[in-house]
Each structure stands twice: as C-alpha cells, then as structure tokens.
Amino acid sequence: MKARIMSCKRALVLLLTFILLLIPLTLLSLQLDFTQPVTDPVGRAMTYLTHSAGKEGFLFTLLFLVCWVGWRCQIPRHQWLNKSIQLMLLLGLAMVMKVGIKAITQEPRPYTELMTQSLLLPNAGHFYKLAHPKQEALLLAMEDKVSPWRVMHWQGETDFSFPSGHTVFVMVCLLYFGSLLAEKKRYISVGALLIWAGGVAYSRLWLGMHHPVDLLGAALLVGALYLLVPQQYPLQHPRFKPWLQRMHLV
C-alpha cells in the first residue's frame, strides 16, 4: 500500500508539472499564424515529434522507453509482469475512453476554424457532416494558404479534437515511466521525458490539430486512470503461479 501511495504521489507531481508546462506552450501557441510559410527544418521537427506519439511511431517510442527504463531502473524480472499488465491496462483504457469522449464532445479541430474564416465552411462543425471525398477537396483547397507541413497532418486526421490522443499516449508514458525513473532518482531521464512530452504537446498546437484544452483534458484523463488502475495483480494465485513459473515470468 505504501509503495502505491508513493507511486501515485510521484505521478501527481509529474502531472502537475506537465499542466504547468502547458501554460507557456499555450502562450506560444497564441502567436501562431497558420497561414505563414514554414521552413523545412521546422516542419520536419514538428512532424517527427508528433509522429513519435502517433500511429506512425508510438510502438518504436514504447519499445525504446521499455528498454531505456529497464536499463536505468534495473527492475527485477519477476516485477516486469505486474508492470506490463499495468501499462497495458493504462494504454488500453485511456485509448478506449479517448475515442468515447471524442464521440460525445464532437469538438472541431482548430484547422476547421481557419477553413471557416477562409469562407470554405459555414461553421467549423459543418466539416464533420461532409463525406470524406468532400473533406479531402476542402483540405486541398487550403494548400495555397497553408504550409504543406500542416495540411498533410490535417488530411491524416479528420476526426474530432477533444481530447488529444497523442497527448493521451504521451501522458501514459510520462506518468508510468516517469514514476519508475523518479523512484530510482533518475532525474535527468525524468527531465528528458518531460521535454519530449512538452515537445509533442506543442507540436499538436503548432500543427493546428488541437486547442490547449484538448491537451489538458488528455492529461487529466490519464492522471485519473493512473490513480485507479491497480499496480499489483494476483500472480501468486495457485491457479496462475505454476503456469507463470513454467514461462519464467514469476
């Protein structure tokens, strides 16, 4: 019980730190003009950041973090099954809830507001009533006003905005792996994890994919799940233990 309380405290500190980090990121995003030209190095950097938490790269990121944290924290092999179950539950529940919340809130993405200002839509919500070919045609019409570095992301994500799925993944990694690193006092690694999380969050604002509240909602969702998902599982139960021992998992 004491170990769980300490783990939750570390996670809450990381959650609060990320939320505070959103303040300067939000202020920076207020200065963004999506119609301004974008240099290739900047566009490429934002794309790599967002892909590290998206369908293009999240598995590589997850594999890297598992290996990195396993090396830095020297977690005993018999504890990894518990840790793995916790991680899978966190990711699974967070992603399922993210999809459900998007369907309920139906919040338009920021780029649809720019399309409304460009007189391509009567209102932002109208975009989601259109068939996919019509959505594609409208996005192509924005290419003479907006950098291709942004438009290509708009074309790839035409679902709703709240909460940010990329930030959900980032927060699962930050709270789960960050808590393990903080327990072993690997503070430089924790700092690097926070910088990456902040970078991904800003990339979502910069690309015009999310409002700041989408990032905050994702962070609070994962924070609540981290407090609720168990950290210990009945792996010593007589029904499971022999099978797990044969697989050298306990």
Domain residue spans of the chain: 2-29+44-107+160-246
d(CA 97, CA 222): 10
> Three-state SS for 55?
coil
d(CA 25, CA 192): 17
Average pLDDT of the segment spanning 23-51:
95
Sign of CA dihedral 137, 99, 82, 184: positive
- Kindly report, residue by residue over 175-190, the tens digit of the pLDDT: 999 999 999 999 999 9
Confidence class of residue 7 from pLDDT cuts 50, 70 and 90? confident
Name the more confident of 175 and 83: 175
Can you read off the two tokens belonging to residue 70? 């396993």
Name the more confident of 15 and 145: 15
- Helix, strand, coil shares of the chain, percent, nearest 5, are 70, 0, 30
Name the more confident of 119 and 23: 23
- Kindly report, residue by residue over 211-238, the tens digit of the pLDDT: 999 999 999 999 999 999 987 655 555 5
Confidence class of residue 239 from pLDDT cuts 50, 70 and 90? low
For residue 237, the model assigns a pLDDT of 53
Percent of the chain at pLDDT > 90 equals 77
- Kindly report, residue by residue over 193-207, the tens digit of the pLDDT: 999 999 999 999 999
Q: Please say if the pLDDT value at position 243 is more than 70.
A: no
Contact present, 161 and 122 (Cβ < 8 Å): no
Residues in contact with 139: Cβ distance below 8 Å, sequence separation at least 6, in sequence order: 151, 154, 155, 158
For residue 236, the model assigns a pLDDT of 59
For residue 238, the model assigns a pLDDT of 57
Tell me the pTM: 0.91
